Amino acid sequence: MSAKLTVLIVDGNRTNLALMDMLVRKLPNCTTLLQSDPAALLASIGRTDYDIAVFARHLPQIDGIELARRVKLQPHLRDRPILLAADDGDSALRASAQQAGIAAVLLKPIDPVEFRTRIQALTRGPTGPASPAGEPGWDDAGAAAPEQQAREAEYLATLVRVAGYRDRESPLHSQRMARYCAILAHNLGMSEQFCRDIRQAAPLHDIGKAGLSDALLRKPGLLSPEERRDMEEHTRIGHAMLKGARSPVFRMAADIALTHHERWDGSGYPQRLRGEAIPLVGRIAAVADVFDALTSVKAYKTAWSIANAFSYLHDNAGEQFDPACVAAFESGREEITEVMRTMTDGDDGTADAA
């Protein structure tokens, strides 16, 4: 069993401190270090260690952003992620937080689901178990050299084209869906690297369909229960196709392929995972995939209006979808509408423009 991850929480308000302490302790393999006095923390900072920190924006005598700057001057803490809990998250605040090296801004009052999602994303990453500080996590995906990242992007784009030859979906479906994933991830406060990776990885979510028979893929009308089970296998097949790669973005694509049909309430497939047991990337992809399916023309239905599709997501938050992901998607409505406007299918569902 790996060592416990320590989450340092600094907040002058003891109620907030107790709430965040309780939320972190509910996570597997996490413990807390609590501090209500930032001056006391700075006085002992050379002897303090943690894996992740959460600082309140307003603290006695010091601002949370300034505290982050000072803490990051310590060589042993420079690379430890810090979250900022703030009363508002306007762009000026987010810019100063980013400059101070803060990983994400969380809005107060703390939403328990969002808080746990962020902490888990930092501790576990999109794949695999928690990794103590110093071992690679999702943020270390950025360590790949630019040439290597460019090569990976080419490989991924080639795979998307190969998969597109067999998939009957419009080629724009996976591209729009991937952009929605990136907008959602950004609004969840995920790093630039994570948002770039999910945009490249998400178009492969249905690559496993390439392993299904033509008869099944091209069957018009409704599928029998047995055919439906065979169709559901595209998740495991896609995962098997991608899982052997060492690159973080390919591993992310493998996770998305496996889990994009899981449901928050545990009634999805193929593993019937529930809640946060579903990797974050799968929860994000589920929202983006369904939204694009609803707003697109299919052989069996017309396109839903944007308003109706957003209502569907909202009504199914907490059942089909992660509520934090739905909230993050809703806050990106303007950008999402713009993606829909610039990447439209023809009336028959075929690609109209890139």
Active site residues: 209
CB 144 to Fe ion: min, Å: 27
Give the phi and the psi of residue 31 in degrees, each rounded to 5.
-130, 170
* Residues 177-216 contacting Fe ion, CB under 5 A: 206
User: Which CB, 289 or 322, lies closer to Fe ion?
Assistant: 289
User: Which CB, 21 or 206, lies closer to Fe ion?
Assistant: 206
Q: What Cα–Cα distance (Å) separates residue 137 from each residue in 58, 134, 140, 250?
A: 29, 9, 5, 14
* Residues 232-291 contacting Fe ion, CB under 5 A: 289
CB 163 to Fe ion: min, Å: 11
The structure tokens listed for 65 are 């952003």
# residues near Fe ion by CB under 5 A: 2
Site string for Fe ion, 284-323 (x = CB under 5 A): -----x----------------------------------
Is the CA virtual torsion 7, 112, 293, 187 positive or negative? Answer: negative
Burial pattern 121-135, b for ≥16 Cβ within 10 A else e, equals bbbbbbbeebbebee
CB 205 to Fe ion: min, Å: 6
CB 164 to Fe ion: min, Å: 12
Considering the rule CB under 5 A, would residue 114 count as an interface residue with Fe ion? no
CB burial of residue 89 (10 Å; 0-12, 13-18, 19+): middle
Q: What Cα–Cα distance (Å) separates residue 157 from each residue in 3, 153, 164, 250, 299?
A: 38, 6, 11, 12, 27
User: Which CB, 59 or 202, lies closer to Fe ion?
Assistant: 202
User: Which CB, 152 or 206, lies closer to Fe ion?
Assistant: 206
The structure tokens listed for 170 are 């419009």
Contact 288, 202 (CB under 8 A): yes
User: Which CB, 151 or 228, lies closer to Fe ion?
Assistant: 228
Quote the CA–CA distance of 209 and 338 in Å, as a whole number: 29
CB 206 to Fe ion: min, Å: 4
Residues that bind Fe ion (CB under 5 A): 206, 289
